[in-house]
Amino acid sequence: MDLYKNSGLTIGEQEAKGIVSWKSPSNIALIKYWGKHGKQLPLNPSISFTLSQAYTQTTIEYKPKRKSSSKIDIDFYFEGQKKPTFARRIVKYFEELKDIFPFLPQLSFEINSDNSFPHSSGIASSASSMSSLALCLCSIERDIFKKEMETEAFLQKASYVARLGSGSASRSIHPKVALWGNTNGMEESSDLFSIPMKSVLHDVFRKFHDDILIVSKKAKSISSSEGHAIMSGHRFKDGRILQANKRLHILIKALKNGKLEKFGNIVEEEALTLHSLMMSSNPSYLLMEPNTLQIIMEIQEFRKNSKIPVYFSLDAGPNVHVLYPDSVAVEVNDFINSRLLKYCKDREYIKDYMGSGPKELDF
């Protein structure tokens, strides 16, 4: 099903000049998306907490192209600097979106993008950057064609478009918790876009922290896209799909019923499973570093001794996400400062927490 195939909207007499801007956050997957097929479709459903402090702000100024051609015309600036390599990636992305937004080749774009977190912090920015870009495109369509859309439909389309840029970006569109991928027993779920899941949240999870400990700032040896590709021939692929589906249901139940310990167990198992899949793939590879393991072991020991509910998660990289409820924020802060910062590159970490989703900015 091509939900958003060719809107048929091209620019005729309309005023096609303007500026749009969105600030969109990163997210941390609790059940991981790992492996894809077809056109950016996930092998298994995933669920994430939407973050708040790690975000990308993208501003697009658009005007009619001087000379008509089918080529995409983009000038891209990242943190004020012209970046031709990023521009080429965005041109490719816009090319793929011509079916959804047939007016793209009629315009020229100046895109400015900034991250709230240091560029070289090793923090994956594709979720925040691609979701902010997708939201800007949906706003441009709305503004040029005076398209009236319910917020829900607008966000669904933005999630669909974001997914085509980066799978995890499809989840950054919604506040607090988002689910992406067909899920048994959840009619509204889809492989094509994410859905908001905020109503499943028990009070225990209402204000949840995610401090991101920067273990390394180096570029990863294997990108997420390469990692997904390796999953299609993985010897544990079928088992992994079954496992992710099963864990997802247990996790949703834990989120609903306020079962922190259950939540923490599943989240940690998922993080370690993600990295075990990398280690057991062909070719095999390792993205954790010695300090990643040091931090994990410190967290487990601290939790055992103090009974404080603090858990870890990992993305496809060495940095560690420290997850905990607001009720233990003081204790966990002390613990991070006294025991964990020594394992962080330049003692750096990002204090983040569950957020209320993307915001459109006025100009």
Binding site for ligand DP6 (CB under 6 A): 29, 32-34, 46, 124, 126, 166-168, 224-225, 228, 274, 315-316
From the list 22, 25, 39, the residue with the least C-alpha distance to 138 is 22
CA distance 245 to 266: 12
In the complex with ligand DP6, the residue whose CB is nearer, 129 or 139, is 129
Q: Which is nearer to ligand DP6, 29 or 251 (CB)?
A: 29
Contact 131, 173 (CB under 8 A): yes
Give whichever of 29 and 230 is closer to ligand DP6, judged by the CB atom. 29
Q: How far is the CB of 104 from ligand DP6 (least distance, A)?
A: 20
Give the nearest distance from C-beta 339 to ligand DP6 in angstroms.
26
Cα separation, 222 vs 323, whole angstroms? 26
The nearer residue to ligand DP6, 142 or 217, going by C-beta atoms, is 217
Residue 31 CB, nearest approach to ligand DP6 (Å): 8
* Angle between the N-to-C axes of helices 126-145 and 151-165, in degrees from 0 to 180, rounded to the nearest 10: 130
Which residue, 106 or 125, has its beta carbon nearer to ligand DP6?
125
**Closest approach of Cβ 66 to ligand DP6, in Å?**
33
Q: How many CA atoms lie within 13 A of 352 on its CB side?
A: 30
Evaluate whether 72 touches 131 at the Cβ level (below 8 Å).
no
> Shortest gap between Cβ of 240 and ligand DP6 (angstroms)?
13
Q: What is the rounded CA–CA span in Å between residue 179 and residue 177?
A: 7
**Encoded tokens for 328:** 């233990």
For the CB of residue 28, give the shortest distance to ligand DP6 in the complex, in Å.
Answer: 8
Cis peptide before 283 (omega within 30 of 0): yes
Distance CA 325, CA 223 (A): 31
Which residue's CB is nearer to ligand DP6, number 226 or number 346?
Answer: 226
- State the CB neighbour count (10 A cutoff) for residue 207: 12
